[in-house]
Amino acid sequence: MAGDAGGAPAVVLREECVPDRPMPEDPVAHVAVLVSLNFPDMTEHTAELVTRFTRVALETLVDLGASYELFDTSEPLPDPAAVTGCDGLLLLGGGDIDGRIYGLGDGGRVPNQYGVDIRADRDGLAAIEAALGDQLPVLGICRGAQLVNVAYGGTIIPDIDDFALHRGGPGDPMFLDEEILVEPGSRVAELLGAERIVARSGHHQAVDVVGAGLVITARAHDGIVESFEDPTRWLVGVQWHPEDDDGPAEDRRRLFAGFVAACAEGRVPA
């Protein structure tokens, strides 16, 4: 999620993102959920999206029998490695990654830059590194997937020139339905049970060079990377937003169910 502009400053409150249902008493897994609920340039519209998407993601985890711990990188994390106290790491969307993080020159600034917070980027990368070192399952969504790619040494397209497939234009809704072509035999194809899906997208950046060891598993019709995985472990990054409840609920459930099952499989009994 990126590229919104204009409007008054807004604030997302943690309590507004919490589902109106209790976490399971005996969860199948306990998931670390990392997101910046607030970031620079946030508008009322973006705040509504962050609130809704975060709530849907947490609701989906609970409905699948998992509990969660929310790590909000709006403020510095006292210990990003604390995510390893959970059974898996889910990284949600948000603002742009600072270009300096992936080696961009000219101070890291890019066209249509939005919501940049290099401290939050560094906290997110530290959490990813800790999760990878502890062999936790990882699911990254939009910004979260891009951070995972950077953690693997990959780069980001700073601003997609022809964005029509990926987000609305000026005066149009940011999010739109996008057809995505999934690689046969990939983990994403297995999870979704399809090689062609329609998903919700709203982004002006995307994965460029994939990190070492990652494999591209889905593309848009213009070739933009839409998902990747690490074939040596349970790690999936998707550029679209399965947690947008304007999109297909079954695709969201299947993707999150695969992640929760991997978290449950590796769980260390208390």
The model's pLDDT over 34-93, given as tens digits with 9 standing for 90+, comes to 999 999 989 999 999 999 999 999 999 999 999 999 999 999 999 999 999 999 999 999
What amino acid is encoded at 13 in this protein? L
Q: What is the pLDDT of residues 117-126, one digit of tens each?
A: 999 999 999 9
DSSP letters spanning 202-239: --S-EE-SPPTT-EEEEEETT--EEEEE-TTSSEEEES
**Chain-wide mean pLDDT for the chain?**
93
Mean pLDDT throughout 21-38? Answer: 97
Q: Would 270 be classed as within a structural domain?
A: no
CA atoms of 269 and 56, how far apart (whole Å) = 27
> Looking at the 3D structure of the chain, how many domains does it have?
1
Enumerate residues 6+ apart whose C-beta is below 8 A from 4. 41, 43, 45, 46, 114, 174
* Tokens of residue 186, six digits: 């990939």
Mean pLDDT throughout 186-206? Answer: 94
Q: Would 3 be classed as within a structural domain?
A: no
Task: Show the domain range for 29.
Answer: 14-265
Beta-sheet strands, E only, within the chain = 29-35, 66-72, 88-91, 138-141, 156-157, 176-182, 196-201, 206-207, 215-220, 225-229, 235-238
CA atoms of 123 and 70, how far apart (whole Å) = 14
> To the nearest whole percent, how much of the chain has pLDDT over 90?
82
Q: Would 6 be classed as within a structural domain?
A: no
State the pLDDT confidence band at 270, using cuts at 50, 70 and 90.
Answer: low
Q: Would 182 be classed as within a structural domain?
A: yes
State the pLDDT confidence band at 3, using cuts at 50, 70 and 90.
Answer: very low
- Enumerate the active-site residues: 142, 241, 243
The whole model's pTM is what?
Answer: 0.94
Helix axes 44-63, 249-265, angle to 10 degrees: 60
Q: Would 8 be classed as within a structural domain?
A: no
Q: Would 79 be classed as within a structural domain?
A: yes
CATH number, domain at 21?
A: 3.40.50.880
DSSP 153: T
| Position with higher pLDDT, 161 vs 3 | 161
Mean pLDDT throughout 181-206? Answer: 95
Distances from the Cα of 216 to the Cα of 25, 149, 220, angstroms:
38, 11, 11
pLDDT at 1 over 60: no
Q: Would 2 be classed as within a structural domain?
A: no
Q: Would 5 be classed as within a structural domain?
A: no
Maximum CA extent, the chain: 52
CA atoms of 56 and 249, how far apart (whole Å) = 10
